[in-house]
Chain A
Amino acid sequence: MEKSIRERLLPILEANQGHKESLIPVLQKVQGELGYLPEESLSEIAHFLGLSSSEIFGVASFYAQFRFERQGEHTIKVCQGTACHVRGAKRIMEAVAQELNVEPGGTTADYKFSLEQVACFGCCALAPVLVIDGQVHGRMTTSGARKVLEDY
């Protein structure tokens, strides 16, 4: 039987019981475990950390890293940093969005891919850059990006 959200989060939450200052690392671990932050997870965190759900939502919605909707199996991040911008990152994003038929920030209907734009990976020298599931692909072109997607 599948574990409930509470059961899955228990080890993370118990280790941080009452530690309000650990909110961000806790959110990161919870998102790591569940892939996103469903409503239920927030009330669990609230309970264990001694914060209100609204306060937690306030923090989580401040940081770009946190998601409140189910994510695709693969996360594609297209860098839109300055160097990438100068080297045509906008077109890479357009090509990927077109190929997958999904808006930046969205997830494909089959939950296979989530598409995100990211400010910078620090791989500016290899701009433009595309990252799939943590794998960095540098010196991208529109056709190169389409090709990379074929492997998934």
Chain B
Amino acid sequence: MTFDERRKQAISDWEALQQSDKPHILVGMATCGRAAGAAAVLATIKEELARLGIEALITEVGCIGMCYAEPLVDIIKPGRPRISYGNLTPETVKQLIEEYLVNDNPRPDLAMGTIGEGSVEGIPELAELPIMKPQVRISLRNCGHIDPADINQYIANGGYSGLIRALKMTQKEVIDEVSKSGLRGRGGAGAFTGFKWERLWEQPGDVKYLICNADEGDPGAFMDRSLLEGDPHSVLEGMLIGAYATGSSHGYIYCRAEYPLAIQRLETALKQMEEYNLIGDNILGTDLSFNLEIKEGAGAFVCGEETALMMSIEGKRGMPRPRPPFPAQSGLWGKPSNVNNVETWANVSAIFQRDAEWYAQYGTESSKGTKTFALAGKVVRTGLVEVPMGITVGDIIYEVGGGIVNNKEFRAVLTGGPSGGCLPASKLNLPVDYDSLTQAGTIMGSGGFVVADEDTCMVDMARYFLSFTQDESCGKCVPCRVGTRHMLDILERITRGEGQPSDIDLLERLATTIKSTSLCQLGGTAPNPVLTTLRYFREEYEEHIVEKRCRALACTELIKFFILPDKCQGCMICLRNCPVDAIIGDRRMVHIVDQEKCIKCGTCMDVCPDRFSAVVKVSAEEIEVPSEPIPVTASRPATKKEDAGETATND
């Protein structure tokens, strides 16, 4: 079969599926869905269908990005629009299947929204929801809509038409098209993709390597995983276009081992490509020959750095090497090479499926197109969102993300992971693009967007990031290996309340040395979290050092737990749950925390019944408590039942 025949077949199959007279159920089965219990939901659906004798089509799809509402199930009932349901459990999905498929009650109470044409009463349009409305889904175009394990569904949705278009152009024209689109590397540094390709293209020689960096190491970013799990072919098509443009013969996908499903999806995709003559020799009958291998990472953040990544592919310790020479001159095995990130490759295929002008209409002057952000932390709607560059930080958090959990106060957003930094409330109007973020002291990075609220201590946050980079430093160059350790030591000292006023200067001095002299960008950016927190939250450092106070009540050494004598009911719950027996008291006697013994785990506060709320956490203050247990004097709040006593026995 020629590719064209396959394509026609794929399209007619896809249309048949859309117009099927059987109900079509799509279940989000990406890792995040599974983590939320999608496997149990899927099993229930199958059981229910069997029990009710309903014949239906089931497709396991990737993630649509609304992770906060996982597990997600979409149902297309013949003659009805597609309805997306969220937050399902085996119990609710059981009701849903029977009531919607048998009784035709679409259960608006469980629905998120409708997708596509048509409407259902009581259910909004999904695209009109605040999380979806600002989005322009280019790299995520197919995620959650197609079966990632079926190449035909990708082809039916325009897949590989970009490759065919590119193959009709000259290599230089392809590179120019990428340059015209303004696409910049989505992995973090934001280098112009067209520029990088041109450097590789102009190198002489037959053997050139093209690498897809899927070593998504930023703890807090997961768009690469989601893309590979939800639409692997969009990435692979991008790589084929790149291979043609740069004259590369061989490619690698370096994927972290923590993403087993992504690797499985890639393996499936590669097998199908082989069958369709989309990989190997003389692809689609042209002169293009390209072989692709998957390399599994082994747990080293630094391997996201391109020279370290190449060392790792060569089977060595992933230690970066100095540049120049740049990878385009001497990369993998000493041959000209180019590394691009997963999301970049997915954008490439999108650009060729449409064209550069279409792509460049989105975004800002210097940062074209869209960027996917992994919205996580203390934000109401966590998930993956793809928005045009230039949207403000505040819009992402409040419009798309729905604001802060429990209406707490926004403290900061951490972008770019351990290489990035934090932005305070005063930067909520900052447009998100490469250059504005750099100016504000942080970086775009891979698009991690972790929101911190008033309970997050910014000094502790800096300490957390430094301990991460310190852990992940390869140990090769002096500034990163030794410098980050000293910075971490100082930050630990400060969070323990042992900081000295001179520490801030020392941190800044170390940061400057490390930033300017490190061998690679892991070290070069490692001080960013400290520098940005010092820039925007300096007073918190001073509070820790001078007043020994942590306003977020997060630094254990600076906090104390007290049981308020006027609220304690002497119910014994906290006393029994304390892991170190640091609470003294008796039934109906006011409990007292023995500050000497207390390890500040916070269990007492967690278990104290809400209606008593007798345990408080304070920093740099003392609360007067009796020296030994005294009889309870507080009046007992009205209760439903003696649930305090019940809980105690249940424990």
Contact = CB atoms under 8 A, between A and B. Distances in A.
Nearest to A66: B298
Given A81-B219, A82-B376, A83-B376, A63 B31 contact: no
Given A82-B414, A119-B219, A120-B217, A127 B377 contact: yes
Nearest to B418: A82
Contact of A124 (B70, B376, B452): B376
Contacts of B314: 21
Contact of A86 (B34, B456, B601): B456
A126 B70 contact: yes
Given A21-B314, A82-B377, A122 B36 contact: no
Nearest to B414: A82
Contacts of A127: 376-377, 382
B315 A124 contact: no
B201 interface: no
Given A82-B448, A86-B450, A126 B382 contact: yes
B66 to A, nearest CB: 9
A142 B605 CA distance: 13
Given A65-B299, A82-B417, A91-B602, A118 B258 contact: yes
A82 B422 CA distance: 12
Interface in B242-279: 257-260
Contacts, number: 153
A107 to B, nearest CB: 18
Interface stretch (A4-12, A68-76, A132-140): A132-140
B222 interface: yes
Nearest to A31: B298
Interface string B1-43: 0000000000000000000000000000001101110000000
Contacts of A81: 219-220
A24 B312 contact: yes
B298 A123 contact: no
**Interface bracket on B:** 35 or more
A20 B579 contact: no
Contacts of A22: 315
A121 interface: yes
A45 to B, nearest CB: 11
A102 B468 CA distance: 22
Contact of B606 (A126, A136, A142): A142
Contact of B219 (A23, A27, A82, A87): A82
B31 A123 contact: yes
A1 interface: no
A86 B413 CA distance: 11
Given A23-B315, A24-B312, A120-B258, A65 B220 contact: no
A11 B365 CA distance: 56
A136 B218 CA distance: 19
A126 B374 CA distance: 11
B410 interface: no
Nearest to B259: A122
Interface string B197-208: 000000000000
B296 A25 contact: yes
A129 interface: yes
B452 A86 contact: yes
Contacts of B602: 91
A136 B220 contact: no
Contacts of B218: 82, 120
Contacts of A85: 219, 464
B225 A122 contact: yes
Interface in B460-481: 461, 464-465, 468, 472, 474
Nearest to A142: B606
A152 to B, nearest CB: 17
B63 to A, nearest CB: 9
A98 interface: yes
A123 B28 CA distance: 14
Contact of A87 (B297, B316, B378, B579): B378
B458 to A, nearest CB: 11
A80 B219 contact: yes
Interface in A95-152: 98, 118-127, 129, 134, 136-139, 142
Interface string A39-67: 00000000000000000001100111110
Contacts of A58: 317
Contacts of A123: 31-32, 35, 67, 222
B300 A62 contact: yes
Interface in B622-643: none
A33 B298 CA distance: 16
Contacts of B374: 124-125
A129 B602 CA distance: 20
Contact of B31 (A27, A64, A121): A121
A122 B222 contact: yes
B238 interface: no
A66 B312 CA distance: 14
Given A65-B298, A83-B377, A98 B579 contact: yes
A119 B298 contact: no
Contact of A134 (B260, B375, B384): B260
A125 B222 contact: yes
Max chain A Cβ within 10 angstroms of own Cβ: one of B67, B218, B377, B468: B377
Contacts of B541: none
A62 B68 contact: no
Contacts of A20: 315
A116 to B, nearest CB: 10
A123 B579 CA distance: 30
A82 to B, nearest CB: 4
Given A82-B220, A91-B602, 13 more contacts: A23-B316, A24-B295, A24-B296, A28-B296, A86-B376, A86-B461, A120-B258, A123-B32, A124-B220, A124-B382, A125-B382, A126-B382, A136-B35
16 contacts: A24-B296, A25-B295, A27-B298, A62-B319, A66-B299, A79-B219, A83-B450, A94-B601, A120-B258, A122-B226, A123-B31, A124-B448, A124-B450, A125-B70, A125-B222, A126-B36
Interface of A: 20-25, 27-28, 58-59, 62-66, 79-87, 91, 94, 98, 118-127, 129, 134, 136-139, 142
The 5 closest A-B pairs by CB, nearest first: A125-B67, A81-B219, A64-B299, A122-B222, A83-B376
